[in-house]
A and B are shown apart, each in its own frame.
Chain A
Amino acid sequence: MTDNPLKNSAYFDDPEMTSLIYAALDASSTGIIITDNRLPDNPIIYHNKAFETITGYNTTEIIGHNCRFLQGRDRSQEAREQIRQALQDGEDIRIEIRNYTKKNDLFWNELYISPITNAKGEVTHFIGVQNNITARKKVEEQLVVEKESIERKVAERTENLRMSEEYLNSIVETIRESLVVLDPNLNVLTVNEAFLRTFKVTRSETIGLRLYDLGNRQWDIAKLKNLLEEVLPSSNPVLGFEVEHKFPHIGHKIMMLNAHRVELQGKFKDRILLAIEDVTDRRAIEKRKDDFLSIASHELKTPLTAVKGYMQLIKRFMPENNPKLTDIIEKSDNQIERLQKLIAELLDVSKIQSGKLDIHHDTFDFDKMVRDTIENIQLNSDSHKVVLRGETNAQYDGDETHISQVVGNLISNAIKYSPGKDRVEVYLSTLKNHIKFSVKDFGFGINMEDQKKVFDRFYRVDSIQKKFAGLGVGLYISEQIITQHGGTIWVDSDAGEGATFSFILPHTEK
């Protein structure tokens, strides 16, 4: 810096102006100090208010000291060496340096040092201007950290993408399903290994051909064609389309086709992914299972039919007034009835398992169905009175036989699991767009843990396992029936306080 312009100004001798300049210096938020280079160790001879505020030191701790106290023990900074060099050379310097407040808190100081020279060119003073740039420094550091982190993330993503691609490729290649990618004109773009293995063909006799021209034109089916041609315009996938055909090389097979639009933009836009699964064996196993079911049903029911008939014949031919024999026959009848129910339940479970539980839809009087079911139960059970409350007045559209089976099952359970009580209560009601059926018993109830499981197949509550007979499938079947009607079934119970089983079915009165 050259000579202080103030030095020669007319204001310099004006005491009012001098005090104004001091006031201006004190009003600044920038710390300002002046050191006297002519004195040993270049001590501070002036500081403004902001310098105190920034450093936390007071005047007596500042005046007369060399500035180095600001670096605390952090002496080995490179910035210090640069400052020393500048001071020695009598040059301006702007530098960022780590300083410490009196409380030893680090702050970043953006320091300007200007030497003041006298007429002889000797440096007599230095003016130090300090700005606390800790906040800016922090932001800068954060920016650096964030930049690094972003770069790292980009690198990771790129690597991930590369790995995903490899991963996807390995999936595509190891998957057992045959995959074919088609362009909008249904030309084959690519196929995976499974496709080549399954159909015993090579890539060269596959890629580039129209799907319908493959093999012995096995896919040239009008219905399939229509569906595939709709995949791109409508985004409607083709699902579970089965083709039974005598294929070249591999013979008679049943193939299941699924086709989806590839939901990507850009390069891979407008492609159809066709997945082909050989379901020949699965269908054969399903057929064997179905056959077994029919046979089992037939074989179990045949002797039952004979026994039932003979028992009824005995009743017909029985001499009158034989209470002992009447009692025996009645008991036998009940056992036959039980056996018949058990066989029916087992068949129901098997049918549910194979998705063959047929739900027929007919409109029926829901309340009458419940009344009839109750009446039927009361014929065989006089231990409990079944009290019916409420009504739905619904002409319900569903499978009357199956819903009645659920109602009967729930009421029979309520009776069965509340021995020693004399009543169960049935409630009918309508909710918004639903009808509700509930049956409440006053038995020993079901604890929380078991409540979740009672609808599981073959599940039986431990504590009742040995006391009550049953396969543990009644509620499972009931849930399946209700679910297939779009409804839900559940139980509310406190152990020891009875249980309430309820189901709701969607219903809108027409």
Chain B
Amino acid sequence: MNVKSNTMDTGNKKVVVCDDDRGILDMLEMIVESVGVSVWTEVDSSKLLLQLETDVPKLLIIDLWMPNYPGDAIIRKLRADAHFDDLYILCISASLNGEQIAMEAGADQFLAKPFDIGQILSVLDRVLLEN
């Protein structure tokens, strides 16, 4: 599919974004939507796993520092579950040692905040075009 087209893929949720900061969450949602990919957002990390179980996305964009359930713990949990083998995990964080934590937990890629939306777009391009 051509992610740059504005055709909305309303059926399957291709991208899930999880960040406890509303501002970032909305911004990322707009970025993903801007290239016509359906996106679902979650501000409460403790509800994320349940949602992912029912509907596995292609890409998960996830923050590290979140109340209730930290991002790295979620990533570890997902990586231990064969059900999510095809899930591409992009970790975004403003933490000083975020990259190390994310990669050790099993993320596929890490972007430090503040990132350029171009960096997000290229990940979308790459991951969603793979299939």
Contacts and interface: CB of A to CB of B under 8 A. Distances in A.
A309 B29 CA distance: 11
Most B CB atoms within 10 A — which of A298, A304, A310, A347? A298
Contacts of B93: 298
B27 to A, nearest CB: 4
Contacts of B116: 308, 312
Contacts of B34: 313, 316-317
A235 interface: no
A306 interface: yes
A277 B107 CA distance: 42
A305 B65 contact: no
B94 to A, nearest CB: 4
Nearest to B97: A294
B27 A302 contact: no
Given A308-B114, A309-B117, A312-B117, A302 B94 contact: yes
Most A CB atoms within 10 A — which of B21, B30, B96? B96
B100 to A, nearest CB: 11
Nearest to A306: B23
Given A298-B65, A302-B113, A305-B115, A347 B96 contact: yes
Interface string B1-44: 00000000000000000000101101110110010000000000
Interface in A312-360: 312-313, 316-317, 336, 340, 347
B27 A310 contact: yes
Nearest to B27: A309
B95 interface: yes
Interface in B77-121: 93-96, 113-118
Interface residues of A, number: 21
A294 B114 contact: no
A294 B113 contact: no
A305 B31 contact: no
A356 to B, nearest CB: 8
A309 B22 CA distance: 13
Given A302-B23, A309-B27, A297 B95 contact: yes
Contact of A306 (B27, B65, B96): B27
Interface size class of B (residues with CB under 8 A): 20 to 34
Contacts of B26: 306
A310 B31 CA distance: 9
A317 B118 CA distance: 14
Nearest to A340: B114
Contacts of B30: 310, 313
Contacts of A303: 23
Contacts of A306: 21, 23-24, 26-27
Contacts of A294: 95-96
Given A301-B113, A313-B30, A316-B34, A293 B23 contact: no
Nearest to A336: B114
A309 B95 contact: no
Closest 4 CB pairs of A and B: A301-B94, A306-B23, A309-B27, A305-B114
Given A304-B113, A304-B114, 19 more contacts: A298-B95, A301-B113, A302-B94, A302-B113, A305-B27, A305-B114, A306-B23, A308-B114, A308-B115, A308-B116, A309-B24, A309-B28, A309-B117, A312-B116, A312-B117, A313-B27, A316-B34, A316-B117, A317-B34
Interface of B: 21, 23-24, 26-28, 30-31, 34, 65, 93-96, 113-118
7 contacts: A301-B94, A302-B24, A304-B114, A305-B114, A305-B115, A306-B26, A309-B24
Interface of A: 293-294, 297-298, 300-306, 308-310, 312-313, 316-317, 336, 340, 347
